[in-house]
Amino acid sequence: MIAFENVAYSYGGGDLLSDVSLRLAPGSFHFLTGPSGSGKSTFLKLAYAELQPTSGQVTLFDRDVKSLSRDDVARTRRRIGIVHQDCKFLDHLSLAANMALPFTVSDRESSPQDMNELLGWVGLSHLSHALPPQLSGGERQRAALARAVIVDPDVILADEPTGNVDWEMSLRILTLLVELNRMGKTILIATHDLNLIRQAKAQLQARVLRISKRRIQLAGADL
């Protein structure tokens, strides 16, 4: 599904990642951890073709990202749900319209009934007409998650999805991600929140990857 082979990424003359090899199997659940600035976000950006590797090969759905045109990248992203810590929305559109954006940009429309169900799933039914600036941090994270899954993607990549919310909301978001994984989605969460990782491992089989010294390693039993 997503594969890294001897991938290196340099920026400004320095290596951020080097010799990274990894394969995300369908239906797997991974955490990616490491200190701030270790390259977690860079890794995710490589995984959704926002960045191209300096060397090595990143394969998305069996296609080398370097061979993808801009339109191919757009089409590929419809199969990847992306959630950011500072989730961005279009502030002039309602929450429901923002959630429906992945449909809108592919010239399709979601059914109101299914949209209501999705809003209910993330607990935001009462805010469907609200504008993004009116939402709290937790509401924005859940809305971003709903937007990421609305087109039924194969993979969900989340970059610090609980970074701006309290513990209770973190657990709620984790529950949603676990539920998605049980629906067959491949999940990769970049986080430095070890408590969240422990909580997840109590619920399912999750692999924990750690970025250390620009390389990715499988984390030990200390987690």
Partner 1 sequence: MKLPAAKPASPATRALQVVPPSGPTVWLTSFTATAMTFLCVFALALSLASGRLADRWSEALARTATIRLSAPPEQVQIQTDAILSLLATTPGIASFRAIDDAETRALLEPWFGPGLPVEALPIPRLFEVVEAESGYDSEGLRQRLAAEAPGALLDDHTRWRRPMAEAAGRIRLLGVLSIALIGAAMAAMITLAANAALATNAEVIRVLRLVGAKDSYIARAFVRRFTLRAFAGATVGTLAGLVGVAALPAADAAGGFLTGLGFSGPGWLWPLVLPPLAAIVAFLATRRAAFAKLKELT
> Which residues lie near partner 1 (CB under 8 A)?
70-71, 74-75, 77-78, 82, 88-93, 97, 100-111, 114-115, 117-118, 121, 147, 149-152, 179, 183
- The residue (of 25 and 90) whose beta carbon lies closer to partner 1 is 90
* CB of 28 closer than 8 Å to CB of 207: yes
Whole-number CA gyration radius for the chain: 17
Q: How far is the CB of 196 from partner 1 (least distance, A)?
A: 21
Question: How many other CB atoms are found less than 10 A from the CB of residue 167?
Answer: 12
- The residue (of 149 and 197) whose beta carbon lies closer to partner 1 is 149
- The residue (of 117 and 166) whose beta carbon lies closer to partner 1 is 117
Q: How far is the CB of 46 from partner 1 (least distance, A)?
A: 15
Q: How far is the CB of 213 from partner 1 (least distance, A)?
A: 30
Tokens of 39: 């390259």
For tokens 């609980």, the residue is: 162
- What is the maximum alpha-carbon separation in the chain? 51
**Strand ranges (E), 152-206:** 155-159, 186-190
- The residue (of 30 and 185) whose beta carbon lies closer to partner 1 is 185
- The residue (of 115 and 187) whose beta carbon lies closer to partner 1 is 115
- The residue (of 55 and 116) whose beta carbon lies closer to partner 1 is 116
* CB of 31 closer than 8 Å to CB of 44: no
For tokens 């955490």, the residue is: 31
Using CA atoms, how far apart are residues 92 and 53, in angstroms rounded to an integer?
Answer: 35
Backbone phi, psi, residue 192, to 5°: -110, 10
Question: How many other CB atoms are found less than 10 A from the CB of residue 181?
Answer: 20
Q: How far is the CB of 107 from partner 1 (least distance, A)?
A: 4
> Which residues on neighbouring strands pair with residue 215, listed in sequence order?
212
